[in-house]
Amino acid sequence: MTSNDPSVGLPTRRKCGAMEVHRRLLTESESYRIARSEIENQTIELESTGAAAARGLARIPVVVHVVAHTQEQNISDAQIQSQIEVLNRDFRAANADMSTVPAVFADLVGDAQLEFFLATADPLGRPSNGITRTSTNVAAFDQGDGVKFVESGGATAWPAERYLNIWVCQLSDGLLGYAQFPGGPVATDGVVITHTGFGTVGTAAAPFDLGRTTTHEIGHYLNLFHIWGDDGTGCRGSDEVDDTPNQAGSNGGIPTFPRVTCNNGPNGDLFMDYMDYTDDAGMVMFTKGQVARMTACLDGARRQLWTERHEPEPGLPRVEAPAGQAPATGTSASAIGQPTVVTSRSGRMDVFVTGADGAVHHKWWDGSGWRPSQDGWESLGRPEPAPRTAWHPGDGEVAAAPSDMSAAT
């Protein structure tokens, strides 16, 4: 692979895969169709009651999964931090380039009241910097979700109810990123961003080096559609937001105000909105209506994401003796070995630990809670070797030694 490979060349025009993923899931999955219908109904209900408006600041825990085929793609912690900082300006309407919004649109600007932070604990409650690193032999990923599974060269999602999963990798064919709307499978929930469109330093490359691809994709993740309504270039599509002007198709580059389509003059398209397709420097705002829609999502489908965060995190298997097993000493930690975790494509997570009695004990996360119970374990007897795992929290994910990285071709 070289930088001249057209499949991994730098994007010159924004291209997002979220709607393709949305349509694929609508086609494939009845449960997604049902969930989407329920979420839209719930959105209308929450927006109309205005109950969500009093929420105040919500803090969203983020895990960034860096999946790298080359050393360059193994982006720095600083590049990741630069992206978090962009999000914390854009979702507070605190970005300096907000000043470029034409005066006629100034009243539309909304503050989403969101703050993002790298998770400080992994799914088992261990200290973490909120970053996982995985070496892959996949030269470039597409919107088919391969980056989200170990068996296809990617990295496993952390429980999507409690973390915003962001995968950063090389995407192919100029794709900048894609997101999964709320209501989809937990194992693939989150956003994927090509490394050259992520953050503001390191490998971030113009004209997508201001971190706006991630802002845009998190907009989808919080249930926003593209501002033109995703009907090609017609004037009938809707983004389900009342205060965004009707607009024909997507705008690219950095348009000149006003840009009139669909008889939306004199002010024209709100092309400086994050949910259009302009260059990073051209998108600077969400509207109040978009904020209301995101807020409804955060009070509905994604409520657990910001309401159930504690230290140590709740719902985690505690390192203590299973029921009926007396700890060997006064400290429960000595009764049990290190947990082993196995994740599966369906989003299920199995945890195995060895008790003081030498038996293996098991509990599992089924997507909504721990089984057999929050604190309970089932005994698998002894001796029973713990299955080896696709993923060990806290030990750096799949081996990512620099020698492996440089040897990859």
Residues that bind Zn ion (CB under 5 A): 16, 18
217 is an active site residue: yes
Task: Look at residue 21 and give its three-state secondary structure.
Answer: helix
**Count of other CB atoms within 10 angstroms of residue 211:** 26
Of the listed 217, 308, 313, 384, which one is catalytic? 217
Return d(Cα 209, Cα 201) in angstroms, integer.
7
Minimum Å distance from CB 128 to Zn ion?
Answer: 29
Minimum Å distance from CB 197 to Zn ion?
Answer: 12
CA distances, 378 to each of 143, 208, 354 (Å): 38, 50, 11
- For Zn ion, which is the closer residue by CB, 149 or 228? 228
CA distances, 261 to each of 10, 284, 327 (Å): 30, 20, 71
What is the distance, to the nearest Å, from the Cα of residue 84 to the centroid of all Cα atoms in its chain?
Answer: 12
Q: What angle do CA 157, 163, 167 make, to 5 degrees?
A: 45
- For Zn ion, which is the closer residue by CB, 16 or 166? 16
- For Zn ion, which is the closer residue by CB, 224 or 398? 224
SS3 sequence of 50-92: CHHHHCCCEEEEEEEEEEECCCCCCCCHHHHHHHHHHHHHHCC
Contact by Cβ (8 Å): 289, 110: yes
Minimum Å distance from CB 224 to Zn ion?
Answer: 9
Contact by Cβ (8 Å): 212, 86: yes
- For Zn ion, which is the closer residue by CB, 16 or 405? 16
Minimum Å distance from CB 230 to Zn ion?
Answer: 9
- For Zn ion, which is the closer residue by CB, 18 or 86? 18
Minimum Å distance from CB 2 to Zn ion?
Answer: 29
Tokens of 95: 């970005």
Residue nearest Zn ion, Cβ-based: 16
Catalytic residues: 217
